[in-house]
């Protein structure tokens, strides 16, 4: 049997751990040939691929990023895209695909399954917003990086007695903001799921200043002020219709400075949250996902995604996994508010 593997969408710590697990179990347990397709769905579209052997994955467990590279390619926006993929897979003798990605990559995987291509999905996103799985790998690393940044910012904020606004990733879901903000002792946490009042934020900030502490505000990139609009870096959209968000942190820092008279600065963590060595938790979770994805292929169980439920790895339909985003519940956010101010 010949099995292809690809990584699509934004890069994420732990991708290489999945690839390593797929290659090792695929070869050592099943005797398969493994083919790595480069640059997400661009690889199966164009035939850009490489064989993957044991030597290719020997030292990649601790590496961030992906040795197969990634892209936000949508084959359904390419004329004849599905037929091109079928032709490439036939030419390469590939019997099945393991697609590692988030909502967009797995949405394509679901449609390709419906179109007769055998695909198994592996959930990947630092945002932790994929439905049907308790956690995705990459999230723990992103939260750890953001938390460490917040820890470091506390000392410089106190030294200058200024407010610091930390902008983290999170387009539609505020899991990184919530977890890193709680772990880092933030004075305010703002998430996309709940529009915020600038007046309330200022009240929390001033309360913090009155206690002779410098406030740290953690805001997800997709958070919205009441009656406001998303802050866009550009008006351009990717192949899946997403615009680039960014700028809410700077805007909010300016508002705080204007309303309080206190110095306020913004720190945008951006792609630092995606880079570097994955945490031990993400390495283990990613490895387990890869091993179980191989099992699904061996069973001929296509159109599924491997998922974490409690401590168990289970299989769920790709249609279930991509039906809706997993967002921060109201009760989870409200329980955190006791720490604000």
Residue positions forming the annotated binding site for diphosphate: 10
The per-residue b/e assignment along 257-274, b for 16 or more CB within 10 angstroms, e otherwise, is bebeebebbbbbbeeebb
Question: Using only C-alpha atoms, what is the Rg of the chain?
Answer: 21
Which CA distances in Å does 196 have to 168, 190, 205? 16, 7, 14
Residue that has been written with the tokens 């197969």 in this structure = 68
Sign of CA dihedral 251, 256, 259, 261: negative
Dihedral of alpha carbons 46, 236, 217, 272, sign: positive
Q: Identify the CA nearest to 3 among candidates 21, 17, 285.
A: 21
Q: Which of 104, 127, 129, 282 is catalytic?
A: 127
CA angle at 10 for the pair 320 and 41, rounded to the nearest 5°: 70
* Residue 127 among the catalytic residues: yes
Structure tokens at 86: 């079928």
- Joined together, the tokens standing for residue 79 give 């004329």
Sequence ranges of the binding site for Mg(2+): 103
CA distance 23 to 267: 39
Task: Indicate the annotated binding residues for substrate.
Answer: 125-127, 162, 169-171, 221, 265, 271-274
**Residues catalogued as catalytic:** 127
């Amino acid at each position: 049997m010949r099995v292809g593997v690809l990584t699509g969408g934004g890069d994420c710590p732990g991708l290489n751990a999945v690839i390593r697990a797929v290659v090792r179990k695929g070869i050592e347990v099943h005797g398969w040939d493994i083919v790595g397709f480069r640059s997400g769905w661009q690889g199966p579209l164009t035939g850009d691929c490489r064989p993957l052997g044991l030597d290719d994955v020997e030292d990649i467990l601790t590496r961030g990023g992906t040795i197969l590279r990634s892209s936000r390619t949508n084959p359904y926006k390419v004329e004849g895209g599905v037929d091109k993929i079928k032709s490439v897979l036939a030419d390469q003798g590939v019997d099945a695909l393991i697609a590692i990605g988030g909502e967009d990559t797995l949405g394509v995987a679901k449609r390709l399954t419906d179109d007769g291509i055998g695909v198994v999905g592996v959930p990947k996103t630092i945002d932790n917003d994929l439905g049907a799985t308790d956690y995705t790998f990459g999230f723990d690393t992103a939260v750890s990086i953001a938390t460490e940044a917040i820890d470091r910012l506390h000392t410089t904020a106190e030294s200058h007695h200024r407010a610091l606004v930390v902008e983290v990733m999170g387009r539609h879901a505020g899991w990184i903001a919530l977890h890193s903000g709680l772990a880092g002792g933030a004075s305010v946490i703002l998430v996309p799921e709940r529009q915020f009042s600038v007046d309330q934020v200022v009240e929390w900030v001033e309360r913090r200043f009155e206690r002779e502490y410098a406030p740290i505000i953690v805001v997800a990139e997709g958070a919205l002020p009441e009656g406001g609009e998303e802050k866009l870096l550009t008006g351009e959209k990717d192949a899946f219709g997403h615009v680039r968000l960014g700028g809410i942190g700077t805007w909010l820092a300016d508002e705080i400075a204007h309303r309080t008279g206190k110095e306020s600065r913004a720190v945008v963590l951006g792609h630092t949250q995606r880079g570097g060595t994955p945490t031990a938790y993400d390495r283990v979770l990613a490895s387990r996902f890869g091993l179980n994805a191989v099992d699904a292929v061996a069973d001929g169980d296509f159109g599924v995604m491997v998922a974490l439920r409690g401590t168990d790895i289970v299989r769920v339909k790709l249609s279930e996994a991509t039906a809706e985003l997993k967002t921060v519940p109201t009760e989870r956010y409200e329980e955190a508010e006791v720490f604000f101010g």
